[in-house]
Amino acid sequence: MTTDLETLNRHLADAGRVRLFLDYDGTLADFAPTPDHVTPDPAIISLLTSLVKHPHFKVAIISGRRLEHVQKLVPVPGILLAGTYGIELQTPDGKHVDRAEYDIVRPILDDLKPRWQELIAGHEGFYLEDKDWAMAIHASFAVDDEADQVLASARHMAVEAPASAALRVLGGHKFLEIGPRLAHKGRTVEYLLDRYPWPGALPLYVGDDDKDEEAFEVIKTQGGIAILVSSEPRDTVAEYRLDAPRDTRRWLKTLSHSI
């Protein structure tokens, strides 16, 4: 893994056409105070607008946030937006596509929600996020031991839920989420490359967490390039690293002028 992007920039300039898949939080933008916090950043909107208009780029945002939030954060015509890890899409021509059956998914979440609420009630530092298609417990501000215990119980409830085979339980650092099986950034990149082909374009994915790692793997098997956004080197399949969202923005700006 390297932070030297010179070679990459030359490689991309040679490729000519670049298909950009970008995560949002922690990749393009600094983390919001809470996951329900939606504050569009004019600088990001302007950067993405210029990339979308550039004939050598196609741009997709793939976020774990619900689509409705991604649409508010990135009101950019001609961009592809994927919410809930790609379950809900807004295509470049503005159409809405759902890749799972809401009538199967939602009743499972409705059944689980009060049980998760009861579980976290009275515990400090927990936050339940209902994303409509998925539901998450954030425990970033909880004490370590308590976070482990509560999230283990929440996971148990989720995997034991009736019809839970249609869903996938995702863990992370002080985080647990249940959502449709296809809510998977790797499967989403595969789907988008297949469904909206752009022959000869080089796919490139920029992301910062373990859900992005699933997309890195897919992008690499498709001959593309993965870039991790992280202040420290860490275990990853990405070949390149950017330190922070501001470096992603700066690099994308340079890229749009060099191709």
Residues near Mg ion, by CB under 5 A? 23, 25-26, 208-209
Q: Determine the Cα–Cα distance for residues 128 and 37; give it in Å rounded to an integer.
A: 13
Distance CA 189, CA 32 (A): 25
The helix/strand/coil state of 1 is coil
As measured in angstroms, the least distance from the Cβ of 197 to Mg ion is 26
In the bound state, the residue with its beta carbon closest to Mg ion is: 26
Question: Which of 236, 135, 241 shows the shortest CA–CA distance to 180?
Answer: 135
C-alpha 21: how far from chain center: 9
Least distance to Mg ion from the beta carbon of 82, Å?
A: 13
CA angle in degrees (0–180, nearest 5) for 142-144-146: 70
245-258 helix and 6-15 helix, angle to the nearest 10 degrees: 40
Residue carrying the six token digits 């490689």: 11
- Kindly state the smallest distance separating residue 209's Cβ from Mg ion, in Å: 5
31 vs 102 by CB, closer to Mg ion = 31
State in angstroms the smallest separation of the CB of 88 from Mg ion: 17
CB of 215 to Mg ion, least distance (A): 11
Tokens of 152: 């283990």
Measured from the CB atom, the residue of 23 and 177 that comes closer to Mg ion is 23
In the complex with Mg ion, the residue whose CB is nearer, 51 or 62, is 62
Residue 21: count other Cβ atoms within 10 Å of its Cβ. Answer: 27
| Residue 42 per-residue DSSP state | H
* Residue number with CB closer to Mg ion (161 or 228): 228
- In the chain, the amino acid numbered 76 is V
**Which residue, 116 or 205, has its beta carbon nearer to Mg ion?**
205
Minimum Å gap between C-beta 87 and Mg ion is 16
> Looking at beta carbons only, is 108 or 236 nearer to Mg ion?
236
The nearer residue to Mg ion, 1 or 32, going by C-beta atoms, is 32
Tell which residue, 81, 65, 207, 232, has the closest CA to residue 138. Answer: 65
Yes or no: say if 193 and 209 are a contact pair by the CB < 8 Å rule: no
Distance of closest approach, residue 70 Cβ to Mg ion, in angstroms: 12
